[in-house]
Amino acid sequence: MSKAKLAVFASGTGSNYDAIIDAINNGTLDAEAALLVCDKPAAKVVEKAKHNGTPTFVFDPKQYAAKELFEAKIVEVLQEAEIDWIILAGYMRLIGKTLLQPFEGKIINIHPSLLPAFPGLDAIGQAFDAGVKVSGVTVHYVDAGMDTGKIIAQDVVYINDEMTRDELQSAIQQVEHKLYPATIQKLISGGESS
């Protein structure tokens, strides 16, 4: 059987993209990084993908008159590449129905909090400012809402009184980099259902 083809969507640094590539290279994730989709031409993740030989679709949303138009183009590129799963990894846009409908149940996201707590932007800052003692990471299916889809996996990070915001961020990232590849592996091997 051919390997599951992943399209990773990212807008920034791409540390989760790196973790996925590492897991593929070390054999713990049996998939192909078939495409990187990025809406920020200057993002670091684009350089990383080029360096790794991951095909890219990089676009500037400002060049399109409406979201439906760039999403229709993305769908075309995904279908051309025969993508099985869309892996959102720091893609800073809500997915609209043009993209959601053809891939519903095949789009997942990682969020740096224990959803439903702290959805949306700067979840780490929100948790830190709220003074919670436990936060963590959530992998979930994507629906039309903001971080509202069905939860697939979570892992916790304990916050002690001495921890700075940066230390919390780095603890969260370490958990993300293990949880995301492991959850993707379970999904593609049929271990989790939508």
- The distance of closest approach from Cβ of residue 118 to ligand GRF in the complex, given in angstroms and rounded to an integer, is 11
**Residue 140 falls in the annotated catalytic set:** no
Joined tokens for residue 29: 């994730």
Query: What span, in angstroms and rounded, lies between the C-alpha atoms of 58 and 14?
Result: 14
Q: Residue 16 annotated as binding?
A: yes
Contact 188, 85 (CB under 8 A): yes
Joined tokens for residue 74: 């993305």
- The distance of closest approach from Cβ of residue 48 to ligand GRF in the complex, given in angstroms and rounded to an integer, is 10
Contacts to ligand GRF by CB under 6 A: 10, 12-16, 89-90, 110-112, 176
CB-wise, 106 or 177, nearer to ligand GRF?
177
Q: Residue 95 annotated as binding?
A: yes
Burial of 149 (0-12, 13-18, 19+ CB in 10 A): buried
Task: Give the residue closest to ligand GRF by C-beta.
Answer: 90
Q: Residue 14 annotated as binding?
A: yes
> What are the helix and strand counts (H, E) for the chain?
6, 7
CB-wise, 12 or 125, nearer to ligand GRF?
12
Catalytic positions, please? 111
